[in-house]
Amino acid sequence: MQKKKSPIGWRNENKQPSLSEVFSSVSVPKQKGIWKKLFAFTGPGLLIAVGYMDPGNWATDIAGGSQFGYMLLSVIFISNFFAIILQHLALKLGIVCERDLAQACRDHYPPLISFLLWILCEISIAACDLAEIIGSVLALKLLFGIPITWGVLITAIDVLIILFFQYKGFRYIESVVAALIFTILVCFSFEIISSKPEIFPILKGIVPNPEIIKDSHSFYISIGILGATVMPHNLYLHSSIIQTRDYPRTTEGKKMAIKYATIDSTLSLSLAFFINAAILIISAATFHKAGYTEVADIMDAHKLLNPILGSSLSGVFFALALLASGQNSTLTGTLAGQIVMEGFINIKFKPWIRRLITRLIAIVPAMISSIVYGEKGTTELLIISQIILSIQLSFAIVPLVNFTGDSDKMGPFVNGPILKISAWVITIIIVLLNLFLLYNTFLGRR
Q: Can you tell me the distance from the alpha carbon of 269 to that of 266, in angstroms, rounded to the nearest whole number? A: 5
What is the reported pLDDT for 422?
Answer: 95
- Ranges 43-47, 175-179, 313-317: which has the least confidence: 313-317
User: Strand, coil or helix: what is 245?
Assistant: strand
Whole-number CA gyration radius for the chain: 21
In CATH, the number for domain 34-442 is: 1.20.1740.10
Higher pLDDT, residue 92 or 317: 92
CB 57 within 8 A of CB 278: no
Per-range mean pLDDT, top range of 62-76, 284-298, 313-327, 412-426: 412-426
Question: Could you read off the pLDDT of 255-282 as tens digits, one per residue?
Answer: 999 999 999 999 999 999 998 899 899 9
Largest CA distance in the chain: 77
Contacts with 432 (C-beta within 8 Å, 6 or more apart), sequence order: none
Q: Can you tell me the distance from the alpha carbon of 268 to that of 328, in angstroms, rounded to the nearest whole number? A: 14
Q: Can you tell me the distance from the alpha carbon of 346 to that of 149, in angstroms, rounded to the nearest whole number? A: 36
- Please check the confidence at residue 303 and state whether its pLDDT lies above 80: no
Higher pLDDT, residue 325 or 251: 251
- Please check the confidence at residue 87 and state whether its pLDDT lies above 80: yes
- Ranges 96-100, 187-191, 225-229, 261-265: which has the least confidence: 225-229
CB neighbours (10 Å) of residue 50?
27
Average pLDDT score over the chain: 82
Domain extents in the chain: 34-442
DSSP 2: P
Average pLDDT over residues 162-187: 82
Question: Could you read off the pLDDT of 25-82 as tens digits, one per residue?
Answer: 888 988 778 889 999 999 999 999 987 887 767 777 888 888 898 999 999 999 899 9
Contacts with 118 (C-beta within 8 Å, 6 or more apart), sequence order: 102, 340, 341, 344, 345
Q: Can you tell me the distance from the alpha carbon of 368 to that of 374, in angstroms, rounded to the nearest whole number? A: 9
What is the reported pLDDT for 5?
Answer: 43
- Ranges 106-110, 272-276, 392-396, 436-440: which has the least confidence: 436-440
What is the reported pLDDT for 361?
Answer: 64
User: Strand, coil or helix: what is 27?
Assistant: strand
Question: Could you read off the pLDDT of 374-393 as tens digits, one per residue?
Answer: 555 556 666 666 667 767 78
Q: Can you tell me the distance from the alpha carbon of 361 to that of 126, in angstroms, rounded to the nearest whole number? A: 6
Q: Can you tell me the distance from the alpha carbon of 283 to that of 68, in angstroms, rounded to the nearest whole number? A: 10
- Ranges 82-96, 176-190, 265-279, 382-396: which has the least confidence: 382-396
Residue 117: closest CA among 400, 356, 351: 400
pLDDT bracket for residue 416 (50, 70, 90): very high
Higher pLDDT, residue 25 or 443: 25
